Amino acid sequence: MIQDVQKKAKSAMEKAIDALKREFRKVRTGRASVDLLDEVRVDYYGTPTPLNQVGTLVVPEPRMITIQPWEKSLLPQIEKAIFKSDLGLTPSSDGELVRIVIPPLNEERRREMVKVIKAKAEDAKISIRAARRDANEALKKLEKDKDITEDDLKRGEKLIQELTDKYVHLCEEVIVAKEKELMEV
């Protein structure tokens, strides 16, 4: 029974870390990455469609993304969708490709982005601690229902705390790596 509670808590903590990593991929670092465009939707015959489903996205240079639409008629919609996104990117088209040059971030913008990632990381830590709280409540309920002993409860709470510490530490490692990437010139 304790193992079930532990597995559920571990799963929830892993999801928090995965969500944090997904969020971090969307943070602009001054380097080109097709992940920046994950949230961009193109009007494809009246349906908002992810950009990667209407063309091929490539990073030919460290500071450039190119988009080769599968239908040339989509070039204006792709440009419009990128303009409307909150990414602050300016696309240009040559009739065949859409090119996006990623401008380098200035020092002030880098520091702002570090604050953003730390806030996102704090949300992940809150999720991890919520998983710990839920697991501890489940263990206390098991003890109250006489399904486990008081010693089992203490052992379970200790295991859950070790799991929490492990995932909070993992969260910190992800933050440090992203901050290092952001501060690179």
Q: Which domain holds residue 40?
A: 34-101
124 shares a domain with 95: no
- The reply to whether the predicted model has a pTM over 0.95 is no
In 3-state terms, what secondary structure has residue 40?
coil
CA atoms within 13 A on the CB side of 108: 0
CATH code of the domain containing 38: 3.30.1360.40
Q: 68 - beta bridge partners?
A: 56
145 shares a domain with 176: yes
175 shares a domain with 87: no
| Per-residue confidence (pLDDT) for residue 28, from 0 to 100 | 66
Extract the residue ranges of the chain whose pLDDT is less than 70: 28-30, 185
Q: Return d(Cα 129, Cα 50) in angstroms, integer.
A: 33
